[in-house]
Amino acid sequence: MDRIAIVDFEASCLPEDGESYPIEVALVQVGGPAKSWLIRPAQKWQYWDWSDEAEKLHGISRDLLIRKGVPAQQVLTELAQAAQGCRVFADSDLDAYWLETLAEACRRPPPFPILYLGELFQEMRTTTGAIERAEAIATVRLPQQHIACKDARRLALAVELLAAA
């Protein structure tokens, strides 16, 4: 199998709740290292929307982002380095939107395309039942949700389980 990585973003809100921006991103290589970043809001996002409901899900406050977040330029550079040589997948097209939003704030193009995880499952010629079983096992092992690194690790584990089957 090629080097595969899973990316996952958390955001200020969902797009249907307003103009959202990325606040956390994680990249996990299947069978390899994981890296995550809290993203300090870019100046451009100063007046964009924030959802208290989203904050309750991911547990990341604006104050935490200001205190511990990494500048968007640095996040984008390090994310690109971590993804180098990998095909990057996500389980939602929103992740591609938030990568584009991050890159745009940095006045750079997205450093890599994000492919839909279902495409990888098709390449692996796996069945819906096998995918559901792998996801269920991964969820039991890594149940915490809406934390970028945990979500990406859970998806990467499901891919590992399917590859080993």
The span from the CA of 3 to the CA of 86, in Å, is 5
R_g (Cα) of the chain, nearest Å: 16
> Residue 67 burial by CB count (10 A; 0-12/13-18/19+): exposed, middle or buried?
exposed
The mean pLDDT of the chain is: 94
Q: What are the structure tokens assigned to 58, written together?
A: 């991911």
**Is pLDDT above 70 for 1?**
no
- At residue 150, the 3 state secondary structure works out as helix
The span from the CA of 39 to the CA of 12, in Å, is 11
- Is the whole model's pTM more than 0.85, yes or no? yes
Split at pLDDT 50, 70, 90, the class of 18 is confident
